[in-house]
Every structure is written in structure tokens, then in C-alpha cells.
């Protein structure tokens, strides 16, 4: 596939084949099935002897363009679109694991990914362990003779821990393991895991890739050899297919991805600096801050720190809930990567599938609040946070307790 020198160009043109009569926008093939010229050629398409669409669960020209663009952006040979991020997560894992295998997962992943790994995979004979991937000795110690896969997000949802992909890939290669990275929080504009030797990268395309809060989608990227069974076994037989209309919407959203990621990152950085200076805030988790343990990977692995951050208020569950309820510009909603700023409470929302013990072990406290900073003007975003903190302080909700340490 022809690559563009700059990703800001690739998000607009990557994988586009202009069809007759020369429409600028990608044509939308909103069709479940495709008509064969004759019976023999229909059979030839099924046998793989002739290329061409058959049926949208197997492939669709609009969805194909989204897949080509994502492969180019991630530096992959191929990509396979799914009907949701969880379709991509489960599809990538199921393509690599069989009964009797073991995987090691990073601690503190997105709640439904954690549920899939700890509740669904064991039903099919796949076991797992969760460890802190920043501790390479602990990671190595968790690897068993039947371990096949290392699975991680970086930064991690919701507490934004950042893992060193070069170090993890070195260990994985020494042990003959497949690495799978969920790159949803960064997008290929800010981080390209395959360039660090990762084997498979996936996304919830619901988030920044689409960027407009109106689609649920996913995508898996990797080598042609790895993607062939993802497309023609996993997606075909499990059926988590992306609608062509949603692929078309994502292609439209992708065109502004470079601009959006820059603005999301700038806004989130300003929010992080602001929050870090507030007495009611105990801790801000954002890799863009020099105080963040993963800050050293900014530049080497990540081009910017992205639009999501987490904060912990002095107090507990109720304090977090009251703060969230005070916000006006931020909408109280799960998800991230939209133009609108969103706020959610991981302990009761995205990470409620965890047991309280697993949540504590993963560093997700009851007072943690996650902000997905949007594209609004930064002064309006900061004004909203300011008024919410002031309202909480007035009510005496988030004042530090006597002797409570500031971090």
C-alpha cells in the first residue's frame, strides 16, 4: 500500500480509490449482498480465485476503504473492521488463543475487556493473570509455559498508566509471545505500537477515530497472515460486523483526526496543569505532566499525551459523585474522544465490572473521576471545572481533611 509522508495527509487520502464518476467522498455501498456476473464467477469469488465483494459480513467496498486507511495509519499490512471495540478486543484475542492457553493482561484495563478476559475466556479453557506491566520482573514471573499472549492498553483506561512498549516487546520476543495493544486512547496519530514491534494493535473506533459520538465500531490491525483468520474466520463466523454506513461516518470523522488530537491534547494538558494546582485535588493522572511516572515515554513512544485524564479528589465515592454532578459543560457520559467534554465515575460506571478488590488492586479509587476533554474553547472548559470545585468547596465537600497529605 502506498504510504503518505505525513499522517495528517493519510487521514484524508489513505486507501482512497476514486470510483467513477469521480465522487470526492467515498461512495457508500449500503448493500448486504453483491450480485455476481454469472454463477461460475460467484463460485470463483467463494473459492478466492477472483477478487470482488460477496456479502457484507465478509467484506464491503466502503468498509474496505476504512480498513485500508487504518492499516496505512498504523503501519500494518492489513486491518479488519468490527461492529464495536469489544468485537475487536474479543476478535483479536480469540484469533490467538485456544483452550489450554494462558495470557498475561496488564492490570486495570477497560472494564468490559477485563470482564471478557476473566469471565468469558475461562469458559473456553483460556486462563489469565493480571500484572503491572511497568514491573518487568513481575511480568516475566507471570509467564507460564502455555502463555501465548501479552495484552495491554497504554495509556491504561482509566488511570492513564503508561507502559514501555520497547521493553515489553523485547521480553515477549525472547519468550515467543504475541503482543496485543489497545491503542484507543492514543490513535495512530500519537502512538504507533507496530513500529515498536508489537504484533497486533486494535481500537475502539467509537472514540477518537470516529470522533463524533454517533458510531460504535472497532478495528484490528496487523500482518496479512494474522489478519486473514481475523477476517475470514473470527469476523465471518462470530459475526461482529461493522455497518457500511458506520464505516462511511468514520471515514468522514478520520479526515480531521490530526487536528482533533492536537486540540484534545492541548486542552487536556491545560486542564491537567489547572487541576494539579487546586487544593481540593489530591492527584492528577495525565502522562503530559512531569509528575507522571510515564512522562519519560512522551516523545519516544507518544507524540502527545491525548485528551483523557483522571483526577482524585480528597474524600471518597460521594465526593466524586458530587463533583461530577456540579459540572455543567461536561456531559455525564461514558465514552471518550468526542467533540463534547465528557465526565464519568469509573468505580460506578466503566470499571463497575471489576470487584471492589480488583479495582483497588488496579489503582482505581472510589474518588477517581475521568475527564475526556473535548474540543471546546479551553477558557470555557476551565471555567466549568472552576465553578464545580468552588461549589464543592462551598459545600465543604472536597476540602482536604486536617493532616491529609497533598500528592
What residue ranges bind ligand 3LM (CB under 6 A)?
84-86, 89, 110, 112-113, 153, 157, 182, 184, 204, 206, 216, 218, 334-336, 350
Spatial contact of 165 and 136, defined as CB atoms under 8 Å apart: no
Rounded to a whole number of angstroms, the minimum distance from the CB of residue 236 to ligand 3LM is 19
Of 110 and 163, nearer to ligand 3LM (C-beta) is: 110
Query: Is 207 a catalytic site residue?
Result: yes
Separation CA 251–CA 212 (nearest Å): 12
Rounded to a whole number of angstroms, the minimum distance from the CB of residue 336 to ligand 3LM is 6
Distance from chain centroid for Cα 348 = 20
Rounded to a whole number of angstroms, the minimum distance from the CB of residue 252 to ligand 3LM is 18
Q: Find the catalytic residue in 69, 132, 151, 207.
A: 207
Q: Find the catalytic residue in 101, 182, 366, 384.
A: 182
Report in angstroms the alpha-carbon separations of 101 from 121, 150, 225, 296: 10, 12, 20, 34
Of 7 and 157, nearer to ligand 3LM (C-beta) is: 157
User: Which residue has the closest beta carbon to ligand 3LM?
Assistant: 85
Residue 185, all three cell numbers: 486512547
- Segment (H or E) for 369: strand 368-372
Number of DSSP helices (H) and strands (E) in the chain, helices first: 15, 12
Q: Find the catalytic residue in 57, 175, 252, 255.
A: 57
Of 230 and 392, nearer to ligand 3LM (C-beta) is: 230
Rounded to a whole number of angstroms, the minimum distance from the CB of residue 88 to ligand 3LM is 7
Of 113 and 319, nearer to ligand 3LM (C-beta) is: 113
Report in angstroms the alpha-carbon separations of 254 from 80, 189, 216, 240, 396: 16, 11, 14, 21, 44
User: Buried b vs exposed e over 281-308: b needs ≥16 C-beta within 10 Å?
Assistant: bbbbbbbbbeebebbebbeebbbbbbbb
Best CA proximity match to 323, nearest among 342, 303, 343: 343
Separation CA 72–CA 128 (nearest Å): 32
Query: Is 354 a catalytic site residue?
Result: no
Of 312 and 397, nearer to ligand 3LM (C-beta) is: 312
Q: Which residues, listed in sequence order, are joined to residue 102 by a DSSP beta bridge? A: 127, 147
Q: What is the DSSP letter of 84?
A: S
Rounded to a whole number of angstroms, the minimum distance from the CB of residue 360 to ligand 3LM is 19
Rounded to a whole number of angstroms, the minimum distance from the CB of residue 5 to ligand 3LM is 29
Of 81 and 392, nearer to ligand 3LM (C-beta) is: 81
Separation CA 165–CA 100 (nearest Å): 27
Spatial contact of 309 and 284, defined as CB atoms under 8 Å apart: yes
Of 26 and 113, nearer to ligand 3LM (C-beta) is: 113
Rounded to a whole number of angstroms, the minimum distance from the CB of residue 153 to ligand 3LM is 5
Separation CA 37–CA 39 (nearest Å): 7
Spatial contact of 83 and 242, defined as CB atoms under 8 Å apart: yes
Of 85 and 211, nearer to ligand 3LM (C-beta) is: 85
Rounded to a whole number of angstroms, the minimum distance from the CB of residue 310 to ligand 3LM is 11
The HSE-up count of residue 213 (CA atoms within 13 Å, CB side) is 14
Q: Find the catalytic residue in 64, 78, 110, 246.
A: 110
Which ranges in 277-377 belong to alpha helices (H)? 317-326, 356-361
Spatial contact of 293 and 46, defined as CB atoms under 8 Å apart: no
Separation CA 226–CA 180 (nearest Å): 12
Catalytic residue annotation: 57, 110, 182, 207
Amino acid at each position: 500500500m502506498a504510504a503518505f509522508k505525513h499522517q495528517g495527509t493519510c487521514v484524508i487520502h489513505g486507501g482512497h480509490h476514486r470510483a467513477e464518476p469521480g465522487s470526492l467522498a467515498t461512495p457508500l455501498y449500503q448493500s448486504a449482498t453483491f450480485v455476481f456476473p454469472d454463477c461460475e464467477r460467484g463460485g470463483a469469488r467463494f473459492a478466492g480465485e477472483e477478487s470482488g465483494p460477496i456479502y457484507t459480513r465478509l467484506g464491503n467496498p466502503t468498509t474496505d476503504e476504512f480498513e485500508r486507511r487504518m492499516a496505512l495509519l498504523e503501519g500494518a499490512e492489513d486491518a479488519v473492521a468490527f461492529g464495536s471495540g469489544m468485537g475487536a478486543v474479543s476478535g483479536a484475542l480469540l484469533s490467538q488463543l485456544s483452550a489450554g492457553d494462558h495470557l498475561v493482561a496488564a492490570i486495570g484495563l477497560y472494564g468490559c475487556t477485563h470482564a471478557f478476559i476473566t469471565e468469558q475466556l475461562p469458559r473456553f479453557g483460556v486462563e489469565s493473570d493480571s500484572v503491572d506491566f511497568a514491573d518487568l520482573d513481575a511480568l516475566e514471573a507471570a509467564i507460564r509455559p502455555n502463555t501465548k499472549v501479552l495484552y495491554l492498553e497504554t495509556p491504561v483506561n482509566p488511570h492513564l498508566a503508561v507502559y514501555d512498549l520497547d521493553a515489553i516487546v523485547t521480553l515477549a520476543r525472547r519468550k515467543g509471545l504475541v503482543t496485543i495493544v489497545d491503542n484507543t486512547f492514543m490513535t495512530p496519530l500519537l502512538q504507533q505500537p507496530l513500529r515498536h514491534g508489537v504484533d497486533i494493535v486494535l481500537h475502539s473506533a467509537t472514540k477518537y477515530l470516529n470522533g463524533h459520538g454517533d458510531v460504535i465500531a472497532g478495528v484490528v490491525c496487523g500482518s496479512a497472515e494474522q489478519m486473514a483468520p481475523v477476517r475470514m474466520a473470527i469476523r465471518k463466523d462470530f459475526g461482529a460486523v461493522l455497518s457500511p454506513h458506520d464505516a462511511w461516518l468514520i471515514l468522514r470523522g478520520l479526515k480531521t483526526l490530526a487536528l482533533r488530537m492536537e486540540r484534545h491534547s492541548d486542552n487536556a494538558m491545560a486542564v491537567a496543569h489547572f487541576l494539579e494546582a487546586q487544593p481540593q485535588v489530591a492527584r492528577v493522572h495525565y502522562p503530559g505532566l512531569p509528575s507522571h511516572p510515564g512522562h519519560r515515554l512522551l516523545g519516544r513512544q507518544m507524540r502527545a499525551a491525548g485528551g483523557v485524564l483522571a483526577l482524585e479528589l480528597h474524600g471518597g465515592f460521594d465526593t466524586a459523585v458530587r463533583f461530577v454532578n456540579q459540572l455543567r459543560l461536561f456531559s455525564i457520559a461514558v465514552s471518550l474522544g468526542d467533540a463534547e467534554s465528557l465526565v464519568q465515575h469509573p468505580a460506578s460506571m466503566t470499571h463497575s465490572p471489576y470487584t471492589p478488590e480488583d479495582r483497588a488492586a488496579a489503582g482505581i479509587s472510589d474518588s477517581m473521576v475521568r475527564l475526556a476533554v473535548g474540543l471546546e474553547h479551553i477558557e470555557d472548559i476551565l471555567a466549568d471545572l472552576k465553578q464545580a470545585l468552588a461549589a464543592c468547596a462551598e459545600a465543604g465537600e472536597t476540602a482536604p481533611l486536617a493532616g491529609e497529605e497533598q500528592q
